[in-house]
Amino acid sequence: MQRTEFSQTLQSNMALPANETSMAERSQWVLNAPAPPSTWHNLMASVRNTISSYQKMCSYIRGQPGPKVVLSFLRSIFPILHWGRNYSPTKFRNDLLAGLTIASLCIPQSIGYATLAKLDPEYGLYTSVVPPLIYALMGTSREIAIGPVAVVSLLLSSMIQKLIDPAIDPNGYRKLVFTTTFFAGIFQAAFGLFRLGFLVDFLSHAAIVGFMGGAAIIIGLQQLKGLFGINHFTNKTDIISVMKSVWESVDHPWNPRNFVLGCSFFIFILFTRFLGKRNKKLFWLPAISPLVSVMLSTLIVFLTRADKSGVNIVRHIKGGLNPSSINQIDLNSPHIGALAKIGLVVAAVALTESVAVGRSFASMKGYHLDGNKEMVSLGFMNIIGCFTSCYVATGSFSRTVVNFTAGCETLASNIVMAIVVLISLQCLTKLLYFTPTAILASIILSALPGLIDINEAYKIWKVDKLDFLACVGAFFGVLFASVELGLLVAVGISFTKIIWISIGAGTETLGRLPGTDVFCDAQQYPMAVKIPGVAIIRVKSSLLCFSNANSVRERILKWISREEAKGNIEDNTGSIIQLVILDTSNLVSIDTSGIASLEELHKSLVSSGKHLAIANPRWQVIYKLKATNFVTRIGGRVFLTIGEAIDCKLDF
């Protein structure tokens, strides 16, 4: 029966229009392909690509007549000049509403995150003024709400406090924070300018999910300090040492009022969020609830003077405009190397969060977000920020969602928010004197659930177990070791996986799908028919290189001998394999070790009276096989398709 199948293929091959051109001619096509671009050429190409993208911009600008040149140049840098022109009152109404909403969420969060970053509260507010304004001028997204975020604040404090303890030398610590912000900004801008956007992609999606989840829990644990009103708390972030210091604090006299106050308002915030979810009209309720609870709790404390009876309060917040902090950026610091490293890590994390948020909303509204341009604007935002007493700011996930649901139209909502925060800095800081820290803790806590995405983790588990491992690795790395280690683990696992897949010595045997002359993996397509006397083998990985060449060779030889043994048991027709066809259609590259192993394979096949044929080689591969005379060594048996390779069986 198989025999007939086989002859069928041949007929079908004859029947094909394929024979308008002779087979010999076609295998000449394969052999005489033009030389592929060299490595050097590729490298140059990518560089040229980067440069040309700027040239295009320049030429576009030069294209404009006289005065327009400047304008269009500015437009390319400040998109606001573009969308600002057709800005309408109706748009402004929406932006105003959205701006006020996020401002009310932003003020308490900023104060909270500042404490998380081990800075005085006002620095959180500063960071919500300048960066949003800069981003509004330069940014390309329409929804992102800029400001301090939880994860970055945690990263900063957890890494920098190893260099200087903020409790001992707050000024020195602050200097380091601003210097780190400077570095982060430089790195972000550089990534964008040199079009290195892809570097951010090195944090795999799975890794980010795990990392965010772990970070959220860590941040929550940090809030126990405020919630319990614990005075001496650990500087470490891992769950064990935090839990220990909480446990020890039980022996010290602690004040339940903090806890009661915090919890009650935490429940209030969750309740408002529940209402907001139930009734879309009330979206503003969860947004303003933090501010409301701050006001209420402050009022309560003020009236009852509860601070006298051990309720921890914010006390003095320095009001007024952002002071300059140029003199605080210390590039001769002994820690400069460490700060640069921290800056890089923070820059990467901040970019990842912001770009991810921006992209998701952009694709929702159906416009494209230029990753590189985003990075440049975020970078400049942080560089200017660090001169005006701001620490690293980026696109906040929670506030961006609120901004979107509040119906923002443009980045004007960020401007509104910045102005509101500025005003409150001018006038309202005194009112925040009696705000209990427990409330700030509960506000931060209420923002965390958004960072933990169990559904996504489950989806990852479903799709790819190794990705899930990276996710879990990041999660537990953050939880039990440290934030940066968590990141390291995640990146490590992701890359190990890449190497594992791309150099795994996987081979698969192909069969012909009945009624077609398509050859597919016999396991994937159980209906695929084997061609008697022919072994069709494909290397799974895209490289045949030093690390897998030998094992591939051994696998192939083993498989053939096994097949022949089987064949002898089942039937004696065609159990002896005469022709081994290596389908190299998905080999992108082969190196010297790979070619050497192919030669050894050929030798050992010949010694057992078999022939080796290559089917459908890719550009680089055929080029190298020719360069090393491997083609001539196998008698030029290189074919365009597997079908034609099978036909050559007739020659022996």
Which residues in the 261-290 window bind a copy of itself by CB under 8 A?
none
Q: C-beta of 393: minimal distance to a copy of itself in Å?
A: 23
- Should residue 87 be labelled a site residue for a copy of itself when binding is judged by CB under 8 A? no
Answer for which of 63, 256, 514, 635 binds a copy of itself (CB under 8 A) is 514
Site for a copy of itself in 401-460 (CB under 8 A): 459-460
Q: 335 to 364, contacts with a copy of itself by CB under 8 A?
A: 359, 363
What is the C-alpha separation between 370 and 140, in angstroms, rounded? 7
Least separation in angstroms between residue 609's CB and a copy of itself is: 13
Q: Tell whether residue 204 is a contact of a copy of itself (CB under 8 A).
A: yes
The CA-based angle 217-223-224, given to 5 degrees, is 100
CB 95, min distance to a copy of itself, A: 25
The token pair at 47 is 């560089």
Does position 551 bind a copy of itself by CB under 8 A?
yes
Binding mask 23-62 for a copy of itself (x = CB under 8 A): ---x--x---xx-x-xxx----------------------
Contact between 440 and 120 (Cβ < 8 Å): no
Binding of a copy of itself by 543 (CB under 8 A) = yes
Residue 296 Cα to chain centre, angstroms: 40
Q: In the complex, what is the shortest distance from the CB of residue 13 to a copy of itself, in angstroms, rounded to a whole number?
A: 10
Single-letter amino acid code for the residue at 529: V
Binding mask 582-611 for a copy of itself (x = CB under 8 A): ---xx-xx-xxx-xx---x--xx--x----
Tell the smallest beta-carbon distance from residue 504 to a copy of itself (Å). 9
Rounded CA gap, 442 and 445, in Å?
Answer: 5
CA distance 267 to 245: 25
Report the residue number, 72 or 542, with the smaller CB distance to a copy of itself.
542
Query: From the centroid of its chain, how far is CA 638?
Result: 42
- Give dist(CA 321, CA 319) in Å, integer: 7
Q: Does residue 571 touch a copy of itself according to CB under 8 A?
A: no
* Pair 617, 595: CB distance under 8 Å: no
Span near a copy of itself by CB under 8 A; candidates 322-330, 389-397, 400-408, 616-624? 616-624
Least distance to a copy of itself, CB of residue 467, Å: 5
In the complex, the smallest distance separating the C-beta of residue 522 from a copy of itself, rounded to whole angstroms, is: 11
CA 247 to chain centre: 36
Q: Which of residues 94-113 bind a copy of itself (CB under 8 A)?
A: none
Q: Does residue 641 touch a copy of itself according to CB under 8 A?
A: yes
**From the CB of 651, what's the least distance to a copy of itself, in Å?**
21
Q: Using CB under 8 A, which of the segments 175-183, 293-301, 400-408, 508-516 binds a copy of itself?
A: 508-516
Q: Is 294 in the site for a copy of itself (CB under 8 A)?
A: no
* C-alpha dihedral (623, 629, 630, 635), degrees to nearest 10: 110
Smallest distance from the beta carbon of 150 to a copy of itself, in angstroms? 23
Which of 335, 379, 541, 638: binder of a copy of itself (CB under 8 A)? 541
24/283 Cα distance (integer angstroms): 71
Please say whether the beta carbons of 418 and 388 come within 8 A: no
The CB-of-454 to a copy of itself minimum distance in angstroms stands at 15
Q: Are 581 and 645 in contact (CB under 8 A)?
A: yes
Shortest Cβ 551–a copy of itself spacing (Å): 5
Q: Which of 77, 186, 185 is nearest to 127 (CA)?
A: 185
Tokens of 461: 């588990």
Residue 159 vs 491, nearer CB to a copy of itself: 491
Write out the two tokens for 212. Answer: 């965010």
Tokens of 39: 């490595």
Percent helix, strand, coil in the chain, to 5, is 70, 5, 25
Does residue number 374 form part of the binding site for a copy of itself (CB under 8 A)?
Answer: no
CB nearer to a copy of itself: pick between 32 and 332: 32
- What pairing do the DSSP bridges indicate for beta strands 519-521 and 507-512? antiparallel
Q: Does 501 bind a copy of itself (CB under 8 A)?
A: yes
Q: Of 550, 651, 646, 530, nearest to 597 (Cα)?
A: 550
Measuring CA to CA, which residue among 196, 480, 229, 352 is closest to residue 360?
352
Q: What angle do CA 31, 37, 38 make, to 5 degrees?
A: 110
Find out whether 205 and 494 touch, Cβ atoms under 8 Å: no
Report if residue 548 touches a copy of itself, rule: CB under 8 A: yes
> By CB under 8 A, is residue 493 in contact with a copy of itself?
no
CB atoms under 10 Å from CB of 27, counted, come to 20
Alpha helices in 38-88 (DSSP H): 39-63, 68-77, 80-83
| Residue among 348, 410, 408 at smallest CA distance from 379 | 348
Q: How far is the CB of 627 from a copy of itself (least distance, A)?
A: 6
Is 20 one of the binding residues for a copy of itself (CB under 8 A)? yes
Binding range to a copy of itself, per CB under 8 A, among 229-237, 266-274, 477-485, 624-632: 624-632
Helix (H) or strand (E) holding 209: helix 205-228
411 three-class SS: coil
Which is closer to a copy of itself, CB of 244 or CB of 562? 562
The beta strands (E) that lie in 477-528 are given as 507-512, 519-521
Total residues belonging to the chain: 652
Nearest Cα to 598, choosing from 625, 618, 620?
A: 625
CB nearer to a copy of itself: give 257 or 637. 637
Q: Which is nearer to a copy of itself, 84 or 506 (CB)?
A: 506
One residue of 169, 201, 248, 571 binding a copy of itself per CB under 8 A: 201
60's CB contacts (< 8 A; 6+ apart) are 72, 76
Instruction: Kindly tell me which of 307 and 591 has the beta carbon lying closer to a copy of itself.
Output: 591
Instruction: Single out the residue of 76, 547, 575, 578 in contact with a copy of itself (rule: CB under 8 A).
Output: 547
- If one asks whether residue 169 binds a copy of itself (CB under 8 A), the answer comes out as no
Q: Which is nearer to a copy of itself, 31 or 296 (CB)?
A: 31
Q: 314 or 490: whose CB is closer to a copy of itself?
A: 490
Q: How far is the CB of 120 from a copy of itself (least distance, A)?
A: 38
Q: How many residues of this chain bind a copy of itself (CB under 8 A)?
A: 94
Task: Return the residue of 618, 633, 636, 649 that touches a copy of itself, per CB under 8 A.
Answer: 618
Binding mask 454-473 for a copy of itself (x = CB under 8 A): -----xx-xxxxxx------
Q: Which listed residue (307, 546, 574, 633) binds a copy of itself by CB under 8 A?
A: 546
Q: How do beta strands 519-521 and 589-590 pair?
A: unpaired
Taking CB under 8 A as the criterion, the residue among 50, 255, 333, 628 binding a copy of itself is 628
- Following DSSP, what letter does each residue of 106-175 receive, concatenated? HHHHHHHHHHHTTS-HHHHHHHTTHHHHHHHHH---SSPEEE--HHHHHHHHHHHTTTS-TTT-HHHHHH
